[in-house]
Structure 1
Amino acid sequence: MEQRILGRTGRTVSTVGLGTWQLGADWGAVSEDEALAVLDASAEAGVTFFDTADVYGDGRSEAIIGRFRAANPDLPLTVATKMGRRAEQLPENYVLQNFRDWTDRSRRNLGVDRLDLVQLHCPPTPVFHSDEVFDALDTLVDDGAIANYGVSVEEADQALAAIARPRTATVQIILNAFRLKPLDRVLPAAIEAGVGIIARVPLASGLLTARYSADTEFAADDHRTFNRHGEAFDVGETFAGVDYADGVRAARELAALAPDAATPAQAAIAWVAQQSGVSSVIPGARSVAQAQANAAAGSLGPLPEAYLQRVAELYDVNFRATVHDRW
């Protein structure tokens, strides 16, 4: 698989990585053996970048990755985690002592002395404009607790504020065929600044697999059930914030234009990976087969022009009015 430089970290990572929210069992039950099998299959397929967070399964995802990494010390892995969602979402909670506590816990979970990359986990907007916050992150780097830091954002303006900070290594943002706003300003700014872009929710919570219908039901403990209207966190994280029925219809139209050698999901992942400025795209996987199929998307050639044009058309007709200015 193609490898790219992950922004200011200087590390080389796979174009297609692995998001591991689901390994915390926050998308329904996933056993530890199943989770380890997904990690193993991803690594065998050439994935060298895992993304996790301290709140995925209350640390379960981190701990499983830590066990996998300890059992495979020779694999050239980069593991990114996130912090900040263990406390009430108030700007005053984003202080050095909390950062130390949160990163110490993540280091224990992951079994490392120094974290490869720590991202602020979609904090309140004022955090992105606080010199004290970024000074505290600089202190963690200087102390050797973390090698690099970045941010995970909900909004394009938050990303732009972070990119302007001189030591921000990466920005993680939602980017998929139903969420095109980052193409306008965020990706160009990141390229100019040398900041890596980690693209999350590439399948719009599964919509872009084209496997769902208007009648599909999800488990009660799946965020696609309990957060469909933003009851638990930002609604943009579930189905990328688009209307579910509109997403089902648009995904089927786009799937019809996928290359013969690719599934609709692979084409959707490849579309993200092929955007200029993207360092790595991080689809999730709950099975070995999903992990292998997602990784294979990193080897697809350029997508047909008809597919690219239809992405833009479907977005303009179905989604631009409701999602573009919101995030």
Structure 2
Amino acid sequence: MEYRVLGRSGLKVSEVSLGCWAIGGPSWRDGEAVGWSGNDDGASLEGLRRAYELGINHLDTADVYGDGHSERVIGEFLREVPRDKMIIATKVGWFRGTAPNAMQPIHIRHQLEQSLMNLGTDYVDLYYFHNANFGPDDRYLEEAADTVRQLQKEGKVRVIGQSAYSYADFMRVCPVTRPDVLQFHYNAFGNLFDRPETDLFRWAGEQNLGLVLFGPLAQGLLLDKFDPENPPRFGEGDVRASNQAYTRERLLDIRRKLQPVKERFGADVQDLVRVAIQYPLAKSANACVIPGFKNARQVESNASGAGRPLSAEDVRFVAEALQE
């Protein structure tokens, strides 16, 4: 396993870390599915143990993942390993309970205390604002930032992070939240975060910010693991059920685009895992990726993509093949 320092945060993490959304299981928010089906807590724990054996030291979760279930599974695992050997990240911002907004300061404090209880620890290494929704006209933005900085002074949070879903949102809130780590969606399909006018990698590099990139495997789409003639069906409470990428037409299009990638790097799933893992890592020396998992086999598959970087020419080739 190779390791990266997340910029000015100083956190040293495995370049392939783990996203723990899927092990939270099925869940809903405001009537919409926001979880994953097909999880098993025993398999999840075996996956976490295998990750530790392979040198993966950074786990990323959130209060909303299974409404705390992901945190509680990680809490079980943390009873088995030295706490100081793991970098644990969680988030606040999507689960609002009875608060008018999830970023209401008293709610943030409550949620962190609940997350600490779920995780069985007295601090988190990295605490994110999960989105940029701080209420109408950013009503809670300044107070929320002050609250998390106070929690940092109390020793309950080591590093503050900001997750968001658009360049404009990052530019709006980061001057106030002052994060040391950013988290956003990025993979070899590319998106607005790598475009000249909205290049978040360049901006983060100028600030020496750490980057945690989720969705590197595009929920399996970059691995050509789904049969276009028999598109997958997902269970109740699974966020993928409403994703139009799993239609026959889209799966056929992805398969066509992946063909030159297979010819260059190999057609085996693990060849594609390596490309999918290393493409986003090539964007910044301060970045790690957090692919999801449900079991030890998937952890091993993810970890196999570490330590095998792509050349600059390889990166250009993949972008030309996969991006519109």
TM-score (norm 2): 0.84
Q: Which residue of 1 aligns with 2:57?
A: 48
Distance of 2:285 and 2:23 partners within structure 1:
28
1:187-206 superposed matches below 5 A:
187-206=201-220
SS class of match (1:267): helix
Residue in structure 2 matching 1:139, options 150, 153, 163: 150
Q: Give the conservation status (yes or no) of the 8 Å contact 2:96–2:107.
A: no
Q: Which residue in the other structure is 2:297 paired with?
A: 289
1:216 aligned residue: 231
2:90 counterpart residue number: 81
Amino acid at match of 1:79: I
Q: Give the Cα–Cα distance (whole angstroms) in 2 for the partners of residues 275 and 88 of structure 1.
A: 37
Change in CA separation of 1:286 and 1:122 when aligned onto 2, cut-off 3 Å: same
Q: 1:264 aligns with which of 260, 263, 272?
A: 272
3-state SS, counterpart of residue 299 of structure 1: coil
For 1:257, give the aligned amino acid. Answer: R
CA deviation after TM superposition for structure 1 residue 253, in Å: 4.2
Alpha-carbon contact 2:227-2:251 (below 8 Å) kept: no
Choose from 142, 148, 151 the match for 2:159: 148
Distance 1:137 1:307, change over 3 A: closer
Deviation, structure 1 residue 95: 2.2
CA distance in 2 between partners of 1:57 and 1:93 (Å): 16
Distance 1:48 1:155 in 2: 28
Post-superposition offset of 1:58: 1.2
- Alpha-carbon deviation of 1:304? 7.4
Q: Cα offset for 1:124?
A: 2.1
**Distance across 1 between alignment mates of 2:42 and 2:304:** 23
Is residue 124 of structure 2 the alignment partner of residue 115 of structure 1? yes
Deviations 1:209-240 (A, max 9, x none): 11123232132233211x326xxxxxxxx78x
> Structure 2 CA distance, aligned partners of 1:220 and 1:113?
35
Deviations 1:133-185 (A, max 9, x none): 32222122122221221111111222334444473121110110112322242
Inter-partner Cα distance in structure 1 for 2:167 and 2:2? 27
From the superposition, tell whether residues 259 and 244 of structure 1 become closer, same or farther in structure 2 (CA, over 3 Å): closer
Query: Partner letter of residue 220 of structure 1?
Result: G
Quote the residue 2:186 is aligned against. Answer: 175
User: Residues 290, 106 of structure 1: CA spacing in aligned structure 2 closer, same or farther, 3 A cutoff?
Assistant: same
Task: Give 1:78 shift.
Answer: 0.1
8 Å contact kept, 2:161–2:181 = yes
Q: How big is the shift at 1:307? A: 5.5
From 34, 38, 44, the equivalent of 2:43 is: 34
Q: In structure 1, what residue type is equivalent to 2:92?
A: M
* Unpaired segments ≥5 residues, structure 2: 26-34
SS of alignment partner, residue 147 of structure 1: strand
- Match for residue 324 of structure 1? none
What SS does the aligned partner of 1:172 have? Answer: strand
Q: In 2, Cα distance between the equivalents of 1:149 and 1:49? A: 15
2:182/2:210 contact within 8 Å kept? yes
Tell me how far apart the structure 2 counterparts of residues 277 and 248 of structure 1 sit (CA, whole Å): 30
**CA distance, structure 2, for counterparts of residue 248 and residue 264 of structure 1:** 12
Contact 1:17–1:47 (8 Å) recurs in 2: yes
The percent of aligned pairs where both chains have the same amino acid is 28
**Structure 1 regions of 5+ residues with no counterpart?**
230-237, 317-327
* Cα displacement string for residues 262-306 of structure 1 (whole angstroms, at most 9, x for unaligned residues): 521221111112222442100011221211121121111334725
In 2 relative to 1, CA 93–305 (structure 1 residues): closer, same or farther, beyond 3 Å?
Answer: closer
2:263 partner letter: A
Match of 2:23 in 1: 23
Aligned residue in 2 for 1:273:
281
Q: How many residues align?
A: 305
Q: Which moved more, 1:265-274 or 1:33-42?
A: 265-274
